[in-house]
Amino acid sequence: MPNPFALTDVTLVTGDADGTVTPDRTIVVGPDGTIEQVGPAAHTVVPADYRRIDLAGHFVLPGLINAHAHLFSDGRPVPPILLNESTAAIITKLARNPLGRRLFKRRAKAHALTQLHSGVTTIRTVGDTDYGVVEVAEEIDRGEYVGPRVLASGPLLAITGGHGAPQIALTSDSPWDARRNTRRNLQRGVRAIKISATAGVTDARAIGYAGRPEMSEQEMAAICEEAHNAGVRVAAHAQSADGIRASLRAGVDTIEHGARLTPEVLDLFRDNPRSLTGTSALIPTLLVCVPLVKLDQEVTGVNDISRANAEMIFGEMVQGISDARGHGIAIGMGTDSALTYVTHYDSWRELDMLVRYGGFTPAQALNAATRTNAQILGLQDVTGAVEPGKAADLVVLDANPLDGFRAFVDPRMVVARGTVLDRPSVSRFAELDARLDSL
């Protein structure tokens, strides 16, 4: 159980879309890890037996929520041979034997902790090699070690030969088989379901292939019905207007990546009776595309097909963000961590991309990664804001992140459900970081 404490004399960055910043605050956290008080430093009474942490000159804000993460790799470019279909099948088989499962679970734990130490206190995974991430999430919830809150998906659901198959997917080719795979995931304790509604960039077979519809509306509807019966939200990888429309009609709760949005699709986002809450949201992932588009292929190592598809999808994603913003659609934040050039310690770069390419203000980008993501994932009563009654999921920085998201590079402190991590640190990839900085 966490030790009770108070952060005194801090400047509170609330995470609202207006960018409200309140100086001279004291935040009191109880022994159950929830926030008891947030008030003016001069008038907030801290119980005598609570630890006082003086943070004058520092900034505290809600912990970030990464709504689109993978934990199977570290973000460094994957050797091309590992993307070969025959090689991928062998690797998948090895990853699912007892030794491979232990290896990938160990990786998942390490990468989840890296995200936590960089300010991410809640993670939703959207495609795992097996169920090791579910086990990591359960171990954290039991208090075996300090980690972020993890909504684990287990393997995503795809068609035979579809996006993510076979490495991180269960495959099916009929509504009943899709329903069975959903039940299999739910029985293993997942707290999120991910569908590959369309083809993607990393495994595209030809130029223009990414975004091609794959899973049928009927198959996706069966998945959504089964997941929603268990109170679990469904995310859909969808990178074309047709794929998005079919996904929303089937009842998915979030569209991952996105594309240009037609009037019919916009209406479905706002009024989606088959989704869990009656509306759906968009989770763009700009960072996964920008390096592939902006850096030389000699640097990224991607082939001509992947490069062309990345350019196409990047343009579609930016247009989709614009369409959603113009029509009041909820937009969250996800990094697509583990994919090429997306490490587990640089969620701040996705916030930066939302500002640079998505038209967000810094306050709106931070809001997407905190309060809005909490709402999208159904965690608004638990986390996402620095308010009494919510979990003490906090980040303390030396500078105001609204003046520059690089403030997240070296957090002064991270608090996960009331447990304080003082001066957290992560291992970095200097060459990769230098290339991203060159953008």
Provide the CATH number for the domain around residue 407. Answer: 2.30.40.10
Q: Are residues 274 and 396 in the same domain?
A: no
Instruction: Give residue-wise pLDDT tens across range 380-426.
Output: 999 999 999 999 999 999 999 999 999 999 999 999 999 999 999 99
pLDDT value for 84: 60
Q: Are residues 394 and 371 in the same domain?
A: no
- Rounded to 5 degrees, what are φ and ψ at 106? -65, -40
Q: Are residues 86 and 24 in the same domain?
A: no
Please say if the pLDDT value at position 316 is more than 60: yes
Question: What angle is formed at CA 343 by the lines to CA 424 and CA 314, rounded to 5 degrees?
Answer: 140
User: Domain for residue 80, yes or no?
Assistant: yes
User: Domain for residue 187, yes or no?
Assistant: yes
Nearest-angstrom CA–CA distance, 215 and 436: 34
| Mean residue pLDDT across the chain | 95
% the chain with pLDDT above 90? 91
- The band of 95, judged by pLDDT with boundaries at 50, 70 and 90, is confident
Q: Work out how many domains the chain is built from and give that number.
A: 2
Domain with 44 in it: 5-62+383-422
Contact of 398 with 383, CB cutoff 8 Å? no
pTM (2 decimals)?
A: 0.97
User: Domain for residue 432, yes or no?
Assistant: no
pLDDT value for 365: 98
One-letter identity of residue 81: I
pLDDT value for 156: 98
In sequence order, what E strands does 254-365 have? Answer: 254-257, 281-283
Q: How far apart are the first and last CA of the chain?
A: 43
Nearest to 23 by CA among 49, 58, 74: 58
What is the sign, positive or negative, of the torsion defined by CA atoms of 342, 432, 348, 384?
A: positive
Mean pLDDT of 166-195: 97
Radius of gyration, alpha carbons of the chain: 21
Nearest-angstrom CA–CA distance, 139 and 155: 19
Q: Are residues 282 and 371 in the same domain?
A: yes
Q: Are residues 170 and 71 in the same domain?
A: yes
| Reduced 3-state DSSP string for 22-91 | EEEEEEEECCCCEEEEEEECCCCCCCCCCEEEECCCCEEEECEEEEEECCCCCCCCCCHHHHCHHHHHHH
Nearest to 286 by CA among 361, 365, 208, 212: 365
Q: Would you say how long the chain is, in residues? A: 439
User: Domain for residue 438, yes or no?
Assistant: no
Alpha carbon of 6 to those of 26, 34, 51, 159, 252: distances in Å?
7, 11, 6, 51, 41
